[in-house]
Structure 1
Amino acid sequence: MGQHIASAESADASARRSGRGPRWWLVRGALVVALGLLVLALASQWNDVRDSFRLLTVGSVVASGVATILAVGTTVLSWRALLAGLGAELPLRAAVRIFFVGQIGKYIPGSVWPVLAQMELSRDYGISRPKAASASLVVLALAVPSGGLAAAITLPFVSADALASYWWALAAVPVFAVLLYPSVLSRLLALAFRLLRRAPLDEPLTLRPIAAGAGWLLVSFCWYGLATWLLVRDLDPEVGGGRLALLSVGAYALAWTAGFLVLVVPAGAGVREAVLVLALAPAVAGGPATLVALVARLLATVADLVWAGVGVALRRRGAIAMSPEAGMEDPEPGAQAERTTDQLPDTATRR
């Protein structure tokens, strides 16, 4: 009996040292489920558009796909800037692996799964859960004022009806802007960690990393706008030139913001397409606009799959194995929350 107890205790200790406790398996299992849902979404979206694909040129679809991949890829720079603002600098290679492998969790209903996955994956690089969670939550929150700002600047000149119908998406912009002001954000995060009985952040976010994060998201929305423009121009739009470019950026930004604010569907499915169709109405009729919305959704799903594959490939090529210290639970208030840089394995600091 004593041997069985000792063996169980030894196994528990080994699991704690390796970091492969119940939470580790829960997150990895959720990511496998999310990957399956992503593939199913991809198959379903292809069935929706394959009969109408002949209306678009191959060159435009490929170019739009590349722009979408760049749009999705740019978001990791926002997350990395926020993490650096919290005193946790990551090599770009590590940031790509953590962020994009975790991001496939968004295909599970609810917004919590990507954050949980990124929290767990960040520990492989000695970054505490509070810092990883803070960066992930703030980059999500920043997307609302960033997307809303892009829509507010462009759409009044080209698609006022869309703004009138989805004014509530823009109404959230000043609310999120106030919540993301450094002094307000620091208090909110401190309260959250106190309620969770976790150590507070040792370096509160300042305006500079928040502004940098918002800037990268604005760049991402511009890439999305380019991807949309490349598709719309194939459909004989009624407007052209700079007006069509403004419409494409604003339409996608408004659609993304509205889809994000509806939390009950995974990755804004359905909501984003409906808003995009309405916003594109000044340029193309409902049928062609629906095709653009469905192809844009398909390309965004492909981009998620591409970046998740890149993240997995980077892990295979040399991401660190978790050390005993990284596998330990985050300390309670008053304990040391972070390992110092010189405690990280060499590969964690390699660029």
Structure 2
Amino acid sequence: MISKAVTMRIARVLLVLLALGFCAYSLIDQWDATVRAFEQMSVATLLGAFAAGLAGLLAWILSWRVFLAGLGSPLPVKAMYRISAISQLGKYVPGKVWALVTQMELAREYKVPRARSFGSTLLAMAASQATGLAIAAITLPLTSAAARDQYWWLFLLAPVVLACLHPRIVTWALDTLLKLVRRPPLEHPVSLPETLLGAFWAVLGWVFFGVHLWLLCEAVGGDGRGLPFLATGAYALAFVAGFLVFIAPGGIGAREAAMVLVLTPVLPAGAPIVVALASRVVLTLADLLNAGLAVLIGGRPPKRSPGDGDTDDENDENAGNENAAGGNEPVPGTLVTGTQPNKE
């Protein structure tokens, strides 16, 4: 009989392979248009956009790391990189849950309780979407009338979502969700300084993504002092719009439509779709490279003892008392009894 631990490992591998399949399909499906788009770009431009995209992804990983540590499970950067880079392939599978599920399962290898992983991921998502809306609300009304007319309702959400990042509101929302799924509440809320630090990394990620789109826009004839701000706001708005389309893998279609709408008034005819396609391919390749590097150099999970293989959610309630790195430290002031001698 196959153990539960082996079953979960097989499921994780299958999820990653499925994500890779959808990721490859998203590239092949638009291959001809993508080739034409890349023919208009110089190698230096593409490398610069690629590097900026990688930097943006890393900044978002650090944002998630702050929230996870704030909930009680600090992990090394290499471990966070491995978990996040591999799990992000799940966003290419239709539906928004696969990246979350994969991330939670990979985090369990580092003895992170699912409640903390779930909560920190939602916090990181909320921070990225809220700061993205705020950036779009600040930059686009001043630089893009088309975005202002078409997506004005999204701009109204920015202050509301930013306010919802307050630790008290976040704690109440997460505890309510955990109660609905019959899980114990969070041990303690994320503090306000930690929330601000997580939001800072999210904003820095948007800056890098803005640089990536700005380089692509310049390559197809875009110019003007406001282009960097427009590119940053355009990517932020496009990403949020794609995120809200639940079924589309990676927001494909919705993200490109929003990006083309915003960029059309400032780029030569036909150039916005070229930029949108190039952006999609560059960031998809960045995701693939991240996942590959994570497998090669990412921090490996700690070795489990023979009794750890069947650890499940039933232990999550006690996991708050575990050390995030080792997971087996007793709580201060707790008497440990019934210790058996080592049989080795």
Cα distance change on mapping 1:233 and 1:333 into 2, 3 Å: closer
Equivalent residue of 1:50, what SS? helix
Q: Contact 2:72–2:324 at 8 Å: present in 1 too?
A: no
Alignment coverage as a number of residue pairs: 327
The alignment's TM-score, normalised by the length of structure 2, stands at: 0.88
Deviation sequence 1:65-123 (CA, Å, 0-9, x none): 11111112221001001001111110000000011111111111111111111111111
Equivalent residue of 2:137, what SS? helix
Q: How far apart are residue 306 of structure 1 and its match? A: 0.8
Alignment of 1:32-43 (within 5 A): 32-43=17-28
Q: Contact 2:75–2:325 at 8 Å: present in 1 too?
A: no
Q: How far apart are residue 25 of structure 1 and its match? A: 3.3
Match of 1:321 in 2: 303
Q: Report whether the alignment pairs 1:214 with 2:214.
A: no
- Partner of residue 246 from structure 1, selected from 229, 234, 242: 229
Match of 1:4 in 2: none
Q: Distance in 2 between matches of 1:231 and 1:333?
A: 46
Alignment of 1:110-189 (within 5 A): 110-189=95-174
Cα distance change on mapping 1:325 and 1:203 into 2, 3 Å: farther
Match of 2:268 in 1: 285
Q: Contact 1:125–1:326 at 8 Å: present in 2 too?
A: no
Q: Contact 2:213–2:231 at 8 Å: present in 1 too?
A: yes
Q: Please tell me the residue identity of whatever aligns with 2:18.
A: V
Match of 1:269 in 2: 252
Q: Report whether the alignment pairs 1:61 with 2:46.
A: yes
User: Which segment drifts farther, 163-172 or 69-78?
Assistant: 163-172
Alignment of 1:24-39 (within 5 A): 24-39=9-24
Q: How far apart are residue 160 of structure 1 and its match? A: 2.2
Q: How far apart are residue 313 of structure 1 and its match? A: 1.1
Q: How far apart are residue 43 of structure 1 and its match? A: 2.6
Q: Contact 2:167–2:191 at 8 Å: present in 1 too?
A: yes
Listed as ranges, the gaps of 5+ residues in structure 1 are: 1-7, 346-351
Equivalent residue of 1:90, what SS? coil
Equivalent residue of 1:321, what SS? coil
Q: How far apart are residue 326 of structure 1 and its match? A: 6.7
User: Which segment drifts farther, 216-225 or 194-203?
Assistant: 194-203
Q: Please tell me the residue identity of whatever aligns with 2:178.
A: F
Q: Contact 2:129–2:240 at 8 Å: present in 1 too?
A: yes
Q: Please tell me the residue identity of whatever aligns with 2:158.
A: V
Q: Contact 1:259–1:271 at 8 Å: present in 2 too?
A: yes
Match of 2:59 in 1: 74
Q: How far apart are residue 24 of structure 1 and its match? A: 4.3
Q: CA RMSD in A?
A: 2.1
- Partner of residue 281 from structure 2, selected from 282, 298, 319: 298
Q: Contact 1:98–1:121 at 8 Å: present in 2 too?
A: yes
- Partner of residue 202 from structure 1, selected from 187, 190, 195: 187
Cα distance change on mapping 1:343 and 1:223 into 2, 3 Å: closer
Match of 2:333 in 1: none
- Partner of residue 330 from structure 1, selected from 313, 335, 339: 313
Q: Contact 2:37–2:275 at 8 Å: present in 1 too?
A: no
Q: Contact 2:131–2:162 at 8 Å: present in 1 too?
A: no
Q: Please tell me the residue identity of whatever aligns with 2:214.
A: W
- Runs of at least 4 residues off by over 6 Å: none
Deviation sequence 1:271-300 (CA, Å, 0-9, x none): 111111111123203410110010000011
The alignment's TM-score, normalised by the length of structure 1, stands at: 0.87
Alignment of 1:78-97 (within 5 A): 78-97=63-82
Cα distance change on mapping 1:278 and 1:314 into 2, 3 Å: same
Q: Distance in 2 between matches of 1:305 and 1:83?
A: 24
Cα distance change on mapping 1:320 and 1:47 into 2, 3 Å: farther
User: Which segment drifts farther, 39-48 or 112-121?
Assistant: 39-48
Deviation sequence 1:120-144 (CA, Å, 0-9, x none): 1111111111101111111112222
Sequence identity of aligned pairs in percent? 34
Q: Please tell me the residue identity of whatever aligns with 2:79.
A: A
Listed as ranges, the gaps of 5+ residues in structure 2 are: 329-344
Alignment of 1:228-239 (within 5 A): 228-237=213-222, 239=223
Q: Contact 2:220–2:268 at 8 Å: present in 1 too?
A: no
Cα distance change on mapping 1:286 and 1:92 into 2, 3 Å: same
Higher percent of residues as helix: 1
Cα distance change on mapping 1:338 and 1:112 into 2, 3 Å: farther
Match of 2:337 in 1: none
